[in-house]
A and B are shown apart, each in its own frame.
Chain A
Amino acid sequence: AQTVTQSQPEMSVQEAETVTLSCTYDTSESDYYLFWYKQPPSRQMILVIRQEAYKQQNATENRFSVNFQKAAKSFSLKISDSQLGDAAMYFCAYRPGTYKYIFGTGTRLKVLA
């Protein structure tokens, strides 16, 4: 079965510091997409970053970057220079060649001033 595991229910980071959120997934497919979504208290899910499995280069979006290890089936999110506005639930998601996503259970990130 295809699964996505986020082993850290909660993380804390000091403002301006760097934090890494972990995500592992299980699949037998070779072509797929991986995503990180952010859900702030407003509840609106926002796409943070995405990675195509066939690309070896890690995706980056400003302060957000991923460490994609295809062989290890690992997809961690690094947030640099953390800001108070980064506080949210973060969900890792996997999408095979179909329309459906499989989500992890989420990591709550707290940013300490």
Chain B
Amino acid sequence: DVKVTQSSRYLVKRTGEKVFLECVQDMDHENMFWYRQDPGLGLRLIYFSYDVKMKEKGDIPEGYSVSREKKERFSLILESASTNQTSMYLCASSASPGQGAFGYTFGSGTRLTVV
């Protein structure tokens, strides 16, 4: 079964800490994404990557950075965690459109609480 694995299901961090959220996919997908999910706001794109070492800003990149050193791994970094970054974080991957696949495969999410 294909998988997108997020390293932590729940995470509690202190304000000002540097936080790493890890995502690994085993489908050899080109594209990987980080979304943030908040009630009433749906899913908002933070960053995405369409190739190793490539990254693009999404709609809400402020306060975040990403790293993609290997095709299967896409990390989201909160440089200095703040309470307004308390949220559910979803990782997703997809093959390139030319490969005939259209859908995202999602991880199970990381619920991050910043105190």
Contacts and interface: CB of A to CB of B under 8 A. Distances in A.
Q: How large is the interface on B (under 10, 10 to 19, 20 to 34, 35 or more residues)?
A: 20 to 34
B100 interface: no
Contacts of A95: 102
A95 B97 CA distance: 11
Nearest to B35: A103
Interface stretch (A14-22, A39-47, A65-73, A74-82): A39-47
A50 B50 contact: no
User: Is chain B's binding surface mostly helix, strand, loop or mixed?
Assistant: strand
Nearest to B88: A43
Interface in B17-71: 31, 33, 35, 40-45, 48, 50, 58
Q: Which 6 A-B residue pairings sit nearest by Cβ, starting from the closest? A: A45-B106, A105-B42, A103-B43, A43-B109, A103-B42, A47-B103
10 contacts: A33-B102, A35-B102, A43-B109, A44-B109, A91-B43, A95-B102, A99-B96, A99-B97, A105-B42, A106-B42
Interface of B: 31, 33, 35, 40-45, 48, 50, 58, 88, 90, 92, 94, 96-97, 102-104, 106, 108-109
Interface of A: 4, 6, 9, 33, 35, 37, 42-45, 47, 50, 91, 95, 97, 99-101, 103-106
